[in-house]
């Protein structure tokens, strides 16, 4: 059984099914997981807007689901997807395109 946090959310790592590149991290609730499984496209729960979010509904850059995995503690998901375009809202393929180095403020 999945372990959701106190807000009813679980982190979901999004990975490209073909390249294994980590594309983004989002949060899901039970309803977004159900919608993802039912539709074959990824849905999240937006913490900032407090609502369900169909990834790609605005941009057309949908995440097409290949499989969902859970970690050994049942508290994190890994979704393997085929993206229909850039995943990041900046237009980058992945949200992880900026490396931290010693000169960065941490």
CA-to-CA dists, residue 95 to 8, 23, 25, 83, 92, angstroms: 24, 6, 8, 13, 7
| The two structure tokens encoding residue 70 | 């859970």
CA-to-CA dists, residue 102 to 36, 93, 98, 99, 106, angstroms: 39, 25, 13, 10, 9
With a pLDDT cut of 90, the percent of the chain lying above it is 92
pTM comes to: 0.92
Q: Could you tell me the domains of the chain?
A: 10-83 (3.10.20.810)
Question: What pLDDT score does 106 carry?
Answer: 58
Output DSSP code: residue 39.
H
Q: What are phi and psi of 69, to 5 degrees?
A: -125, 150
| Per-residue pLDDT tens over the stretch 32-67 | 999 999 999 999 999 999 999 999 999 999 999 999
Look at residue 104 and tell me whether its pLDDT is greater than 80. no
């Amino acid at each position: 059984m999945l372990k959701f946090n106190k807000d009813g959310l679980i982190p979901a790592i999004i990975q490209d099914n073909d390249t294994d590149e980590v594309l983004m991290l989002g949060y899901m609730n039970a309803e977004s997981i159900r919608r993802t499984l039912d539709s074959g496209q990824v849905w999240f729960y937006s913490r900032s807007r407090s609502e369900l979010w169909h990834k790609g509904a605005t941009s057309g850059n949908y995440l097409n689901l290949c499989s969902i995995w859970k970690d050994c503690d049942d508290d994190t998901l890994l979704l393997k997807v085929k993206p229909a375009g850039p995943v990041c809202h900046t237009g980058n393929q992945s949200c992880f395109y900026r490396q931290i180095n010693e000169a960065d403020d941490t």
